[in-house]
Structure 1
Amino acid sequence: MARESFDKEIQFLRLLALTGDAYNRQQFAARLGISVHTYDKTLRYLKEMMNANQQGLTSEQDMELSEAIRYNHYESADPLLLFLYRAKSIKASEGVRFALLLSSMREQALTAMELMDICSEAMPADYPVPDEKTIRGDLKYMEEIGVIFRTDGKRPFRYRASTGLVDALSEDELIDLYDFVDILANTQIPSVQGYLLRDTLKKALRLRGLDTDITESHVYKYHFHSRILDEAHLYTIYQAIEARRKLTFLYLSPKKEKRYASKNTNPLFERESEGIWLTVLPLRVIYDHQYGRWYLIAHQTKQGVMKFRMEGLTGVELSDAVTAEEFDIRLAHAERNLQQSWVIDTMRPIPVKVRFFRPEGSKHDFVRERVELQGQWGTITDESETTFIYHIVVNGITEIKPWLRSFGSSCEVLAPSWLRKEFIAEWKEIQSYYEPVREDL
């Protein structure tokens, strides 16, 4: 499927996850930058893909797309990007064929010709029957990625599914492994491979009849929809960085209302794009844990070092390569600019001094532990039994300010003085929100 269509559906799911039923069809289409007809067609296609992936689920589990997102909002549900990967990474016929091949090789080792006979008999009538070349190509691909292995070196080669690790585990060990992968997939980045492994383990547990033991016992929601959806661009960008190649893409700033720019072929819907086409040399990818955002740091011939939120990238394509010398020069320049950035800010360096208060009546100093864990290159100096001082020089205060604010009354800004005044004004404003309406309330 066209890359533009993949971008459209990523932005569609992102907006759906953020808004739910807050917009009607016209408002949703206008915000996304598409026609109402395209909105209806895209939603219908997504629902068809979801129904195809939900075969075998109970009536309670089978639900509308928007309802599924709302229902699983505070649970460790399958992420939306994995839903797209399953539906679009391979063709429908390939998915059916791969499932049939793997299930056949799970119980016994089979040759390519035996697998071709099985496919001829078991493939649904509305799917084409694969020939020998297709089967051998599938076997080569599955062997390269470690899904199957050759049982011996004699011809004709026999292949069997690589299920040794899962089969060797006891039921309790398999459940523990599933829980471990479930937590890591939700808390580590990149996460798509972890969700694929989690999905495989879930299927292994169901084959053993342990459906009741794999209920979502961990009620948490660390991951952001944007974080996982933007992983679609991550591997193309890393491929470009590794090969020292430029990227060409259409960038739509997340600050603007439009979230997507379609390639209009119908003159009736011809409109000027609100985005800008750019060709840049990618240098680094940075993840902001506080807001769940990916950033691309790149060099552009006219602008120099540029920063992009990855949710604004569409139509990402590899372009020309540069020399190793040029790449190293651009990367060194960007790293100097970012050396004292809390995330990606390149404003002038500002010294910040903060007093932190230890929790009263608690044996566990979780405030200091958090500062040590998240405070980056800042230094900590004990002031008294109840307080300690935190020093850091950081580019600008825009990015560190929300982190300091998140400590609430456990944090007191000492310097710079203007930042202290800003915090005082903000807390006074917040206090005014909680003033009683009546004096006797």
Structure 2
Amino acid sequence: MAKESFDKEIQFLRLLVLTSGAYNRQQFAKRLGISVNTFDKTIRRLKEIVQATYQQLPEEQGKEFSEGLRYNYYDSADPMLLLLFRAKSLKESESERLSLLLGALGTQSLTALELLDCCTNAMAAHLPLPDEKTIRKDLKYLEEVGVIRKIGGARPYRYAIRGELVQELTEDELLDLYDFVDVMAGTQIPSVQGYLLRDGLKKQLMRSHAEKHAVEPFLYKYHYHSRILDEAHLFSILDAIRKHRKVRFLYFSPKAEKSYASQNTNPLFERKTQGKLEQTLPLKVVYDHQYGRWYLLSYGREGIRKYRMEGITQFEEAEEADPVWFAERQQELLEKLRYSWLIDTGAPVTVRAKFYNPGDGPNFIKERVLLQGQWGQIVDEDDEAFIYEITVNGTTEIKPWLRSFGSSCEVLEPIRLRREMIAEWKEIRAYYESV
């Protein structure tokens, strides 16, 4: 499964879940920016991934894949959109090779040439046989991700599985670790790697006492579908930040009519896409807890730029930036974000709001303001209410938070924000007037 195809599947699944089956084939293909034929091929490919990953297709073979995905997703506490990450986006030959390598290393340490012999003897007849260079490349990849390690200081190097985590822990310790990973993956971000680690630990536990570990002690439900899908580019971006490298990608803004475009490999069939080719220096990644969105903050020709991660496709690293220049740009960004509620880099403005205490019982209004109010402070307080004050870059990002308190919050300053809130509440009130 090629990298470009992985982008397509990500955008396909995002649109599939968000539209909840409201589009027909033609509408779906047009919105995604692909042909109806490509739509059908993608559906078939996703069915193959589901079958390979979960060992089952949706309940009825004749049922639309979109319906099967929706019902399986909402009927299960397990985030089904992880299927692309579990598929690893590998070609069949790569998947087969890595499985054979890990199987051979499961009982003993071996050299690269010994592993080449193992693969050559056990490779499926319809797949191409690997050479020594390919095996060494696979071993380097497995070593980088921490699955295997080199042993011995002299050549030829021998390789062994890194199984200390599960081999040296007792069953109770392994169960405690599984519960911890389960809780963290269900409540923290990023979470995809946590879910994959949880799956590996669960398989290890099920090998010993399957019935004992069949019941899940905790159940969590994912509410933001894009949060999982956006993590496909998250660690590549973080790696580019660590290396001070610029990146290139095709970007589709949230307002764009299409959300995907295939790569034009044939110059005779080049076509203009609605995406925009971007080359930029990534500086910071920000997560919006309120809406479940990832943002990339970077520096380009126009200065500080902001991108929604869900619109990034065809991502690749470019040249390395000067470390000193990179540090200066990162410091410049931090200065602009000093008073940012999230990622707003506009002019600072002081917001004053009056919060009314609830009646008898715990003051949950004040507790929530203290918990979520970031660097804001309570500057005045009496038995009925308290005044909260904060300096932020613009009022766009803090407005939904203030509005979420309903009648318990009254905006005092600035007067422009107060008027905006009054107008919005009047509009909401009009929706509920009797007919």
Question: Which TM-score band (shorter chain)?
Answer: 0.7 to 0.9
Q: Given the two structures, how large is their TM-score scaled by the length of structure 2? A: 0.85
Show the counterpart of 2:242. 242
Show the counterpart of 1:263. 263
Show the counterpart of 1:425. 423
Deviation at 1:402, TM superposition (A): 0.8
| 1:38 lines up with 2:38 in the alignment | yes
Q: After the TM superposition, which residues 218-257 of structure 1 pair with which residues of structure 2 at under 5 Å, given as runs?
A: 218-222=218-222, 224-257=224-257
* Greater shift in the superposed pair: 113-122 or 180-189: 113-122
Q: Count residues in correspondence.
A: 432
Show the counterpart of 2:17. 17
Amino acid at match of 2:413: A
Contact 1:76 1:216 in 2 (8 A): no
SS of the residue 1:258 aligns to: coil
Q: In structure 2, how many angstroms separate the alpha carbons of the residues matched to 1:391 and 1:189?
A: 29
Q: In structure 2, how many angstroms separate the alpha carbons of the residues matched to 1:61 and 1:185?
A: 31
Deviation at 1:4, TM superposition (A): 2.6
Contact 2:295 2:308 in 1 (8 A): yes
Tell me which of 405, 408, 418 is aligned to 2:406.
408
Contact 1:109 1:158 in 2 (8 A): no
Deviation at 1:35, TM superposition (A): 1.0
Flag structure 2 segments of 5+ consecutive residues without an equivalent: none
Q: Relative to structure 1, is the Cα distance of residues 98 and 2 closer, same or farther in structure 2, using a 3 angstrom cutoff?
A: closer
| 1:307 lines up with 2:322 in the alignment | no
Q: In structure 2, how many angstroms separate the alpha carbons of the residues matched to 1:32 and 1:214?
A: 39
Flag structure 1 segments of 5+ consecutive residues without an equivalent: none
Q: In structure 2, how many angstroms separate the alpha carbons of the residues matched to 1:193 and 1:129?
A: 31
Q: In structure 1, how many angstroms separate the alpha carbons of the residues matched to 2:58 and 2:318?
A: 47
* Greater shift in the superposed pair: 336-345 or 321-330: 321-330
Q: In structure 2, how many angstroms separate the alpha carbons of the residues matched to 1:213 and 1:234?
A: 32
Show the counterpart of 1:27. 27
Superposed CA offset, 1:361-388 (max 9, x none): 333x443333223212111235124532
Show the counterpart of 1:326. 325
Show the counterpart of 2:108. 109
Deviation at 1:160, TM superposition (A): 5.2
Superposed CA offset, 1:194-237 (max 9, x none): 12211111211221233563445544334522222222222332
Show the counterpart of 1:273. 273
Contact 1:76 1:218 in 2 (8 A): no
Q: Relative to structure 1, is the Cα distance of residues 92 and 304 closer, same or farther in structure 2, using a 3 angstrom cutoff?
A: same
* Greater shift in the superposed pair: 127-136 or 292-301: 127-136
Contact 1:252 1:274 in 2 (8 A): yes
SS of the residue 1:414 aligns to: strand
Q: Relative to structure 1, is the Cα distance of residues 358 and 183 closer, same or farther in structure 2, using a 3 angstrom cutoff?
A: farther
Contact 1:75 1:218 in 2 (8 A): no
Contact 2:2 2:91 in 1 (8 A): no
* Greater shift in the superposed pair: 143-152 or 250-259: 143-152
Deviation at 1:258, TM superposition (A): 0.8
Contact 2:240 2:317 in 1 (8 A): yes
* Greater shift in the superposed pair: 121-130 or 351-360: 121-130
SS of the residue 2:355 aligns to: strand
Show the counterpart of 1:344. 343
Q: In structure 1, how many angstroms separate the alpha carbons of the residues matched to 2:291 and 2:197?
A: 26
Tell me which of 385, 388, 405 is aligned to 1:387.
385
Q: Relative to structure 1, is the Cα distance of residues 253 and 149 closer, same or farther in structure 2, using a 3 angstrom cutoff?
A: closer
Q: In structure 1, how many angstroms separate the alpha carbons of the residues matched to 2:390 and 2:134?
A: 60
Q: In structure 1, how many angstroms separate the alpha carbons of the residues matched to 2:89 and 2:235?
A: 14
Contact 1:349 1:393 in 2 (8 A): yes
Contact 2:110 2:160 in 1 (8 A): no
Q: Relative to structure 1, is the Cα distance of residues 58 and 325 closer, same or farther in structure 2, using a 3 angstrom cutoff?
A: closer
Q: In structure 2, how many angstroms separate the alpha carbons of the residues matched to 1:180 and 1:61?
A: 36
Q: Relative to structure 1, is the Cα distance of residues 27 and 267 closer, same or farther in structure 2, using a 3 angstrom cutoff?
A: farther
Amino acid at match of 1:228: I
Q: In structure 2, how many angstroms separate the alpha carbons of the residues matched to 1:322 and 1:153?
A: 35
Show the counterpart of 2:375. 377
Q: In structure 2, how many angstroms separate the alpha carbons of the residues matched to 1:273 and 1:170?
A: 56
Q: In structure 2, how many angstroms separate the alpha carbons of the residues matched to 1:251 and 1:281?
A: 14
